[in-house]
Amino acid sequence: MGFLFLIVIIPLGWMFVSASSESSGLVLSQVPAPAGSLSQTDTDLMATFRPYEGVVPVLTYKDIDPGGGSDAVTPDEFASQMKMLDDTGFNTVTLDQVRKVSTGTPVDLPANPILITFDAGTRGAWVHGDPILAAHGFRAAVFIATSVVSESENSAYLNVATLREMLKTGRWEIGGHTHAGFEQISMEGVEVPALATLIEDGGGRETYLEWEQRVRDDLATNKKVIKDEFGVNAFAMSYPFAEEGLPSTDPVLANRLPELVGEQFDLGFIETRRAVAVSGNVDRTLVPRIMRVAAGSTPAALLGAIDETIPRSPANSITNVQWTAIGNGECIAGAETLIISADGYTSCRLTTATSAAWRDVVVSGQVSGVTPTATAVIRVRESDSSGIEVSIGENRLIVVSQVNGTRTPLAEASIASSSGFLARAFLIEARGSRVRVTLDGELVADVDVGTFAGKGTVSFSAQLAEADVMTFTSVTLTTRDTNGGTGQ
């Protein structure tokens, strides 16, 4: 019997196709898994990776294709990345385990848990990816856009029969990726995501209420097709085109969309360059994933990206870390707090067995006490003769490099004034020749330090007037030493 299609018109002209169960096409043929390979740099970094527990980093892939590309890795690259994960001791987990972590529900997790996800349901996940996952005993989740699921064996997307076979293996689970909302439409000559845009037809642009109803219908259709065709109650989805946040420049839509997703799904995944591993503190409608892995990504680079998502405050308590005080005052360390209180200049330098070798450093936290007479200073790659200094004043941020007593201004930016009693969130990223500084969620400096390749520790300092107090809280460090190892 031929394949039967039911076509139903839903609001604003979208259509969906629901395949009958009488026919499902043919399962796509697979390509044998390549072995994958690791370089000396890869294995050196793997040897220094620190185990973790209780949180789950999430990887994002879209496709696996021999030609690679911005949205795909090659089979050899994927095989090498999975080999790295396996040899380093990572273990894949399910969407339900991640859901329980996000809600604080007790759940048994393996050592070094990680979730692997694929967006859009492209065919490479099965044709090339599944044999590689099977070789390592790994599992993954695929988020499918149901409007492109059919019986075709020639589509760029997975067909019904293949998706059913994937579920049978026990290695795969299915989530949503909208029905037709993942499609891009042309608005005033610009391609924009249908999910997060007020679209126009002959009657003009839809209202916010019409947009809400369209999104609800689309998400409901996505869930219904997954249930009808595969018997899966999808509770997780990934937003299409959600690189670096939600795919909308309209603040009304950007604020409302996660709420609409939360009405029908327990988890909604985005991508971000500043991903953090999933914990009980995560916003379940905006679960962060590591940015999409693309062609050219090495196992070492992927491992570094994973490591940066894992909260690694020094020994989980800065009380247990050795601080060297330089200047007029003292470094008063509590469980989560570092306080500098003195008249004049005081620096609190973090001292560990490996800190002198740190070069690539990401340091974040909050600082309060910045006033017209009190300036916060954070240094990375600090030694007795060199360092990179970020000064946060009441309304100005300055970045300076210092080598053998010579200070070179790198960047200066005006910043919004803030009461000294309010905490300011900072993020300083020193990677290779670049230094990026983000303050209160806004990138305020992105500079090339050129040939300056110093190495050293991290310090927190304050230039205070009498009775001023500077407080640093929620400090997290992710570091690399000059041999590619990881430090704290």
Average pLDDT of the segment spanning 241-264: 84
Query: Are residues 204 and 332 located together in one domain of the fold?
Result: no
CATH, residue 425: 2.60.120.560
Residue 432: count other Cβ atoms within 10 Å of its Cβ: 10
Continuous segment of H or E residues that includes residue 5: strand 5-9
Query: Are residues 122 and 210 located together in one domain of the fold?
Result: yes
Is the pLDDT at 482 greater than 50? The verdict is: no
Query: Are residues 415 and 274 located together in one domain of the fold?
Result: no
Query: Are residues 219 and 239 located together in one domain of the fold?
Result: yes
pLDDT in tens, 88-129: 999 999 999 999 999 999 999 999 999 999 999 999 999 999
Query: Are residues 164 and 105 located together in one domain of the fold?
Result: yes
Q: Where are any strands of DSSP class E within 369-481?
A: 375-382, 386-392, 396-403, 406-414, 424-431, 434-439, 442-448, 457-464, 469-481
Average pLDDT of the segment spanning 214-219: 97
- The reported pLDDT for the residue numbered 322 is 66
**Residue 341 belongs to domain spanning:** 314-487
Average pLDDT of the segment spanning 407-412: 90
Query: Are residues 139 and 198 located together in one domain of the fold?
Result: yes
CATH, residue 10: 3.20.20.370
401 or 453, which is more confident:
401
pLDDT in tens, 326-339: 877 777 776 566 77
385 or 415, which is more confident:
415
Looking at mean pLDDT, say which of 234-238, 241-245, 411-415 comes out highest.
234-238
- The reported pLDDT for the residue numbered 371 is 82
Query: Are residues 291 and 353 located together in one domain of the fold?
Result: no
Average pLDDT of the segment spanning 419-443: 83
Domain closes at, from 309, 328, 359: 309
13 or 73, which is more confident:
73
Confidence band, pLDDT 50/70/90 cuts, at residue 261: very high
Query: Are residues 347 and 301 located together in one domain of the fold?
Result: no
Query: Are residues 339 and 283 located together in one domain of the fold?
Result: no
Domain closes at, from 309, 337, 365: 309
Name the H helices within 64-206. Answer: 75-88, 95-103, 124, 130-136, 160-169
Q: Where are any strands of DSSP class E within 95-215?
A: 113-120, 140-144, 172-176, 184-187, 190-193, 200-201, 204-205
Looking at mean pLDDT, say which of 3-7, 388-392, 414-418 comes out highest.
388-392
Query: Are residues 372 and 301 located together in one domain of the fold?
Result: no
CA distance 456 to 284: 37
Confidence band, pLDDT 50/70/90 cuts, at residue 264: very high
Tokens 């999409």, located at residue:
292
Tokens 């870390």, located at residue:
321
Number of domains in the chain: 2
pLDDT in tens, 40-98: 888 888 887 888 899 999 999 999 999 987 789 999 999 999 999 999 999 999 999 99
* Distance from the first to the final alpha carbon of the chain: 64
232 or 333, which is more confident:
232
- The reported pLDDT for the residue numbered 364 is 87
In the chain, % of residues over pLDDT 70: 84
Query: Are residues 264 and 319 located together in one domain of the fold?
Result: no
Is the pLDDT at 24 greater than 60? The verdict is: no
Average pLDDT of the segment spanning 474-480: 74
- The reported pLDDT for the residue numbered 334 is 64
Confidence band, pLDDT 50/70/90 cuts, at residue 262: very high
- The reported pLDDT for the residue numbered 466 is 60
Query: Are residues 300 and 345 located together in one domain of the fold?
Result: no
pLDDT in tens, 358-372: 778 888 888 888 888
Domain closes at, from 289, 309, 329: 309
